[in-house]
């Protein structure tokens, strides 16, 4: 199993550009989520999904969209990038029966 | 609101010394608490969950509901323990995690 994979690893955007961060998991997990990691602030939940077709907002959803058309994939879209979205983004998945969340390797995004 | 506080951003100890990383939480119900670790250039991974009451890599953590704490302890630190440690809470049976700010632990030789 590859676990949770994320692409790209690094990305530089200009203010106003859009892009999609990809996340996929091959563990048949129902729950998937996106976090951003900023120095001194830990990880903050952006959006999450409890299954295909179901998404909900986390703590910091503004400026981000998600969709969950399949169990495996959970892309995160930045519609109009802003410098405040410079961060490291982590995708995670877990079984809804509880237990550990499995994290992807992260995407380091810089918005200039 | 649910909150997790890790009061130490940085913690430095010598190899062989005891380590304690502090974690306090605020939640009125029955939380589930976790410690996650991120080694240099690696992804975040689960270290401990309070429900399992395991000892992983020599680390233990006890949930103290009276003090609303879940401190991580190890009696003898090793250099490979140097990493970023995050305390996290989930609640109401949900899978959402609320993370603390993290503590960067450095073990000096």
List pLDDT tens digits, range B97-108. Answer: 899 999 999 999
Q: Do A43 and B97 touch (CB under 8 A)?
A: yes
A96 — pLDDT class (breaks 50, 70, 90):
low
Is the CB of residue A108 less than 8 Å away from at least one CB of chain B? no
pLDDT digits (tens, 9 = 90+) for A79-90: 999 999 999 999
SS3 A83: helix
Cα gap A40→B39, rounded to integer Å: 17
Nearest CB neighbour to B43, from listed A31, A41, A106: A106
Q: Do B43 and A103 touch (CB under 8 A)?
A: yes
Which residues of B fall below an 8 Å CB-CB distance to A? 4, 6, 9, 32, 34, 36, 43-46, 49, 86, 88, 93, 95-102
pLDDT digits (tens, 9 = 90+) for A1-53: 789 999 999 999 999 999 999 999 999 999 999 999 998 888 999 999 999 99
pLDDT at site A24: 98
Taking Cα atoms as reference points, which of B59, B53, B38 lies closest to residue A37? Answer: B38
Contact (Cβ atoms closer than 8 angstroms) between residue B104 and residue B37? no
Q: In three state form, how does the secondary structure of chain B look? A: CCEEECCCCEEEEECCCCEEECCEEECCCCCEEEEEEECCCCCCEEEEECCCCCCECCEEECCECCCCECCEEECCCCHHHCEEEEEEEECCCCCCCEECCCEEEEEEC
Q: Say if residue B99 is preceded by a cis peptide, omega within 30 of 0.
A: no
Q: Do B43 and A105 touch (CB under 8 A)?
A: yes
């Amino acid at each position: 199993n590859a676990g949770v994979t994320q692409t790209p690893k690094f990305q530089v955007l200009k203010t106003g550009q859009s892009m999609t961060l990809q996340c996929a998991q091959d563990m048949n997990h129902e729950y998937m989520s996106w976090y951003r990691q900023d120095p001194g602030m830990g990880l903050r939940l952006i959006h999450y999904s409890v299954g295909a077709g179901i998404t909900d907002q986390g703590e910091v959803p503004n400026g981000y969209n998600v969709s969950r058309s399949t169990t495996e994939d959970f892309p995160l879209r930045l519609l109009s990038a802003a410098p405040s979205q410079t961060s490291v983004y982590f995708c995670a998945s877990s079984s809804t029966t509880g237990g550990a969340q499995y994290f992807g390797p992260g995407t380091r995004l810089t918005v200039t | 609101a649910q909150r997790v506080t890790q009061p130490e951003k940085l913690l430095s100890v010598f190899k062989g010394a005891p380590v304690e990383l502090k974690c306090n939480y605020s939640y009125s119900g029955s939380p589930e608490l976790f410690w996650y670790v991120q080694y240099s250039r690696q992804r975040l991974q689960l270290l401990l969950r309070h429900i399992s009451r395991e000892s992983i890599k020599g680390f233990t953590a006890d949930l103290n509901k009276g003090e609303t704490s879940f401190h991580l302890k190890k009696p003898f630190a090793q250099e490979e323990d140097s990493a970023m440690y995050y305390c996290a809470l989930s609640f109401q049976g949900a899978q959402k995690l609320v993370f603390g700010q993290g503590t960067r632990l450095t073990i000096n030789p």
